[in-house]
Amino acid sequence: MPFNFDFNNRLTEIKTVTINPKGWFGPIDIEYCAAQARIYDTLVSICWRVKNTSHTFTVFEHQINKFSNGDYAKHFTETLESFREDYLSWWSLPKYEGCQWRDEYRLQYGNLIKEEL
């Protein structure tokens, strides 16, 4: 499940934006850049991560511009708020017990995500 992108393979400089997603201990710094995220991607992606973590979120550049009108902070905030809901559900559903990726997410995000709003 986790995707780790080498930010040294970027097409643009790494930028930073600070956001305050609901349910997170914030503020949260996001690092992002434009890149070819996967070897077979023919489109440019925006690759982004919570600073000091390794898991990378990706979205095609044309999609973020279409759905968020180029408002990257809005996209990052909405995605992290949704990710938080998913993250919390993985700990309450027995089918995810013993999943290594779940433990990896806990190491990266456990101290950033509030269990209750």
- Side-chain-side CA neighbours of 56 within 13 Å: the count stands at 20
Peptide bond into 21 cis (omega under 30): no
pLDDT digit string, tens, across residues 25-43: 989 999 999 887 766 767 8
DSSP 67-78: HSTT-HHHHHHH
Give kind and range of the element (H or E) at residue 46. strand 45-50
Q: Which two tokens stand for residue 111?
A: 């101290």
pTM: 0.87
Place of tokens 């890149």: 35
Which residues make beta-bridge pairs with 113?
24
Q: How confident is the prediction for the chain on average, in pLDDT?
A: 87
> Per mean pLDDT, which of 59-63, 68-72, 77-81 is the most reliable?
77-81
Across 31-35, 84-88, 97-101, least confident range: 97-101
- Residue 10 reports pLDDT greater than 80: no
Lowest-pLDDT range, 5-9, 34-38, 79-83, 88-92?
Answer: 5-9
